[in-house]
Homo-oligomer: A and B are copies of this chain.
Amino acid sequence: MIQPNIPDTDRPRVVIVGGGFGGINLAKALRNAPVQVVLLDRNNYHLFQPLLYQVATAGLEPDSIAFPLRGIFKHQKNLHFRMAEVRGVRRDENVLETNIGDIRYNYLVIATGSNTNFFGNKIIEEHAIGMKSLIEAVQIRNYVLKQFEECLLLKDESEIRPKLNFVMVGGGPTGVELAGAFAELRRYILPKDYPELPLHLMNIYLIEASPRVLAAMSETSSRKTAEGLEHIGVKVMTGTAVKDYDGLNLLLSNGETIQTQSLLWSAGVKGFPISGLPEGVVLPNGRITVNDHNLVEGTTNIYAIGDIGQMLNDPRFPKGYPMVAQVAMQQGKQLGHNIKAGLQGGAFKPFKYKDLGSMATIGRNRAVAEFSGMRLSGYLAWIAWMIVHLLNLMGFRNKLVVFINWFYRYFTYDRGTRIIIKRGAANIVKLRQSVYQSDPSIGL
């Protein structure tokens, strides 16, 4: 019989749902606190999402940006990790319902992050690919490489065009970085790998509904980014929204239609809260209303941190803090300190966001960065981008492998990991059902 098997102690139990930036920083902050920490995640690894786009474009191995959660916490004795999917909460009993059984809590922290928002458009949801998980990034890589292989089997230009039109929707960092990486693939890799491919038919579009890309940065950075992308051959269309899509024809708000079979969607994210929360605290975008201690409104011991929480205590951010790693990390850390202080009779301190800046890479030798009042662009910003990402990547081995990949790619103009991992035809064994398989197929 499946049961969580978490030992009962006389310490209060903090249950954290989600091993993203918020969850792991909270768990670390509780290292020496007199609590029992239970960390739950549906995966057994922490994912470094900022580099997902490089996995999707065959620049990095999937394993390089994932770090096993058990590895992170192997020296933290007060922490128990369980791979689990959360179903809901019974607040009156202080019990969390999961697929591995009920788990009692004294403090519950929801740190489930966000997922792709298709804004209710079912057809787009069915045909477009989001990019929030490792498996999605690998799917994009597989899918894109398959498009190139399949183009070689076609003679009719009208069949080839939609396969070679790659459309990124959403001009945030994800869309910008994906578009830039595709432009580099076209320039450096495809002519060598696919000399027979009619590359002049390949187009890369970046479509953004608002007037500029990277809207969270300054107008100068936005302009430089758009120029940089145009320079390497991306068609940037701002002030343009997606109206409709049927799996082939993408209708835009300016009346244009692009034929594409490769629609990559990063136009928005939303929260996926757990059920059982008080009425009215879950907003239409799935975020949960919290006070400036990250406490969920209407509860006394349930918190929400990171993307999933919406806190309105800063006039600079009237719609809540941006859904970025920085906020999650800082909220996780502070909630940890608050819980610790509270147990010693101290008061909770309100959260104050310290904006450390933001950056996005456009392509080889080219990025934009803004921090501490400085604005960088070009080569220097690109170096800064690499250093910041390497430093934040979890684990020495991952840092090293990523560095080697970048180093290698810089000097050889090559990308190592352009392989299509697919399930074999007949010889795949059906493994027995597992509690960790919500999907009937084998997991991978």
Tell me whether A63 and B61 are in contact (CB under 8 A): yes
Tell me whether B435 and A68 are in contact (CB under 8 A): no
Q: Contact size class for A?
A: 35 or more
Q: For A420, what are the chain B residues with a Cβ–Cβ distance below 8 Å?
A: 43-45, 83, 436, 443
Tell me whether B444 and A135 are in contact (CB under 8 A): yes
Interface string of A214-258 (1 = CB under 8 A from B): 000000000000000000000000000000000100000000000
A404 part of interface (Cβ distance < 8 Å): yes
Residue A146 contacts which of B130, B193, B436 (CB distance < 8 angstroms)? B436
Query: Which stretch (A164-172, A343-351, A369-377, A426-434) binds chain B?
Result: A426-434
A8 part of interface (Cβ distance < 8 Å): no
Q: A135-B422, A150-B436, A444-B135 are in contact. Are A143 and B431 (CB under 8 A)?
A: yes
Nearest-CB residue, chain B, relative to A409? B397
Q: How far is the CB of A66 from chain B (nearest CB, A)?
A: 5
Residue A2 contacts which of B116, B154, B424, B427 (CB distance < 8 angstroms)? B154
Nearest-CB residue, chain B, relative to A423? B439
Tell me whether A127 and B193 are in contact (CB under 8 A): no
Q: A405-B397, A408-B400, A443-B142 are in contact. Are A71 and B418 (CB under 8 A)?
A: yes
Tell me whether B125 and A71 are in contact (CB under 8 A): no
Interface string of A1-31 (1 = CB under 8 A from B): 1111100000000000000000000000000
Q: How far is the CB of A118 from chain B (nearest CB, A)?
A: 10
Interface SS of chain A: helix, strand, loop or mixed? loop
Q: CA of A155 to CA of B442 in the docked complex: distance in angstroms?
A: 25
Tell me whether B5 and A155 are in contact (CB under 8 A): yes
Tell me whether A63 and B139 are in contact (CB under 8 A): no
Tell me whether B142 and A416 are in contact (CB under 8 A): no
Q: CA of A439 to CA of B52 in the docked complex: distance in angstroms?
A: 26
A128 part of interface (Cβ distance < 8 Å): yes
Tell me whether B443 and A423 are in contact (CB under 8 A): yes
Q: A5-B154, A416-B397 are in contact. Are A42 and B408 (CB under 8 A)?
A: no
Beyond A5-B153, A139-B442, A397-B412: 20 further Cβ-contacts under 8 Å? A3-B154, A5-B155, A42-B425, A63-B417, A74-B193, A115-B427, A129-B431, A130-B427, A133-B424, A139-B431, A142-B443, A143-B443, A146-B436, A150-B434, A150-B435, A397-B414, A398-B416, A401-B405, A423-B441, A426-B438
